[in-house]
Structure 1
Amino acid sequence: MTGPVTSHWRSVMEARRFIPWRRSSPSWTVRQAKAGFSLPELIIVMVVMGLILGLLLPLVLGSRDALRGDQRRTGVNQALRIPAEIIGNDIRMAGERFARLSNTGLQPVEIIAGGSGAPDQIILRRNLSDDVLPVCESVTGTQNSIRVYRDSTWLANTTSPSYPECGPVIDPDGWPRNLRSVQDLADDTTSDGILRGFLFNPAAGSGQFFNFSITSSPDPSSGQILRQGSGPTWAGYPLENRPRIYILEERRYRLEDGFIELVVNGRDDEPLRVAADVSELRFQYVLDDGQVTGIMPADMGWRNIRSVEVLITGEQAEGADQTERTLAYRFFPRNVLSR
C-alpha cells in the first residue's frame, strides 16, 4: 500500500509545478463603488437639489400661510357669529306685550347712533306685565313714594286736563286692578315683592330704572308704590307730561374696549361681556318703505320696522399677520306683528 500512495502524491506535486498562482483582484465595478462620487458629480447633485428646493419651498410656505389664513378667518367668523345670534334672539323677542303700543312713547327697539366714528348701541325692551302704571303726581327730587292711583274725589276736582288713567276699576278686595296685577307679578316672580320698574317721561322720551314694591299699608287703595333701596335723583316727571311706569326687561348692547357688553335693566356698573376682539358694532333699521337707516324718521316708529341690521367687525392676529372680517345679519322683531 505504501508504493501506490507515494506514487500518487508525487504525481500531485508534479502537477502543481505547472499551474501558475495568481492573486485574485476586485472587479472594476467594485473598485468604483468603493471610490465614491467624484467632485463634479457632487456639485451637479447639489445644484439639482437646490433647484428642487427652490421650487418646492415657496409652494410649501404659501400653502402653510393660506391654511393659517383660512383658520384665522374661520375663527373670526365663529367668534362674530355667536354674539350676532345672541343679539338677534333679543331682537326677535323685543316688543313682547307691547301690542297696544303706537309709534309714539317708549319703543321696544331703539338704536343709539354712535356718531364721529363711535360704535352704535341698541336697546331692546319687552314688557313683563300687560299693565302700565300711570303716574298720578309730579315726581321730583329723591321722593320715595309715587302715586299710581287716585280716588274719585281727586279725579272730580282735578282741573283740565283730566287724568282718567289714574282711576282704574277697583276689584272686590278694594285694590285698583292695575296694582293687583302688578302685585300678583311680584308674588309670582320674586321672593321679596320687589320689582324693577322704568319711570318714563313721554314728553322727554327718556326715563330711569328703579326698584319698587307696592304698599299694602294702611290700605291698598292709597295707590302708592314705594321705591326700594338707594336710587338716583329723579330727572323730573311733571304730572302734565303723563309719565308712566313700565315693568319691563331692557337689554342694551354696546362696544367697550374691544368687548361687546350687555347691560341689563340699566345696571351700567354690572355689564356682562358677550364677545371679545370686536373693533366695530353698527345697527340699522330696515323700514317698510325701503329705508336702511340708523336714525328713526320722526314720522315713523316701531310699527314700521321690517328688520334690524347688525354689522359686527372682528379681528384676529397671529404674529405679524392679522385678519379682519365684517359680518352683516338681519333679524326680524316678530312682535311687531302683534296688534
Structure 2
Amino acid sequence: MTQLDTAVTGQDGANRRDTAAGTWRAGIRQAIRIASRPDPWKRGPVVAALALLLGLVMLLHAQITDRGGLGSLVETFLPWFGLFIPVLLAGALWRRSVPAVAALLLPVTVWLSLFGGLLGDKSHPGSDLTVASHNVGADNPDPAGTARDLAASGADLLALEEIAPQAKPLYEKELAKVYPYHTVQGTVGLWSRLPLSDTQPVDIKMDYGPLADTKPVEVKMAYTRALRTTVATDHGPLTVYVAHLGSVRLLPRNGFWTASRDRGAQALGEAIAADPSERVVLLGDLNGTVDDRSFADITSQLHSVQDAAGDGFGFSWPTKFPVARIDQILVRGVQPESSWVLPATGSDHLPVAAGISW
C-alpha cells in the first residue's frame, strides 16, 4: 500500500507540474498577443484619415477648384457624400479604432449643418397660389397624357420646359381646358389661371452654333429658353420667370462641362437683378442644384422653396432614380408654404410644385 500511494502521489505531482507549466506557457502566449496588439488609440489610421478627408471636402467644398467643372460636380452631388459616413463607421467599429470614431464627428457635424434641415417636413397647410414646373422632355412619348396629368395637379401657374415644336399644339389643346391664359416663347411656356401681361423672352446667352453669325428671328425663337411675364393676382402683380438653362456634360477631355449653363445662369441672374419687381418667382430646369456655386448670382437674390418649406431633398432627376434636384422653384417677396414632387410623366424629369402665400 505504501508503494502504491507513493506512486500515485508522484504521478499527481507530475500532472500538476505539467498543468502549471501549460498554464504558464498559455499565459505567456496571451501576454505576447496582447502586447503585440495595437492600442485602441493607434488602430485604424487609414479609416481616421478618410473620415477627416470626407469632412474637409464637405466643409471646404466651395474652395475646391472648378477646373474641369470639378467644384460644380462635387456640389451637385454633395448630399450623397453622407453615404460614406456609415461605411467609414463600420470600418472604425470593425477595427475598434477610437481615433476613427472620433474623426467621424467632423463629417457628421458638417453634413448635418449642410443638410440636416432637409430631413424634416417644413411644410405648412394652405397657400394663396400653387405653382408647378416640369421639363416635359423633347422625346416625351405621350405629351397629351403628360399635359392631362399636369392639369390635374391643381397648379394655378404651370411652367413647361423643353417643349418640342411638334408637341406644342398638344400641350396647348390639353391645357386650354384648365388654363385660359398661356404664353410660349421658344421651348419654354407658362400656363395660368390668371391673366398674363408684359411677356417677353429673356436672353440667357445660348450658343447658336454654326448659325451664330446670322441669328435670324426663327433661329432666335428656336433657341429661346427663358421668358419673363407678369401675372395679375388679387394681391397685386407677380413677376414670373421660366427658364431652361444649358445642359451639362461629362466629357473625357473637358471633365464636367458646364460652360453653357454657367453663362445662362449669369445672364439670368443679371436680368433678375435689374428687375424692380418686389415679388418674383423663378420656375424651371436649371440643370444644377442650388448648392452649386455657379448659381450664386441667382441664389443670392432668390430662395429655394424646397429648402424653406419642403419635405426631404425633393430630388427631381432622373425619373427612375432621382439623385439631384435640378428642377427649381425659387422666390423672393412671397412666403413659401410647401414644396413637393409630383408623380412621374413620360419625361425623364419629375415635375415639382410649391404653395406660396403673400
Task: Please state which structure has a larger fraction of its residues in helix.
Answer: 2
Relative to the length of structure 1, the TM-score reads 0.27
Larger Rg: 1
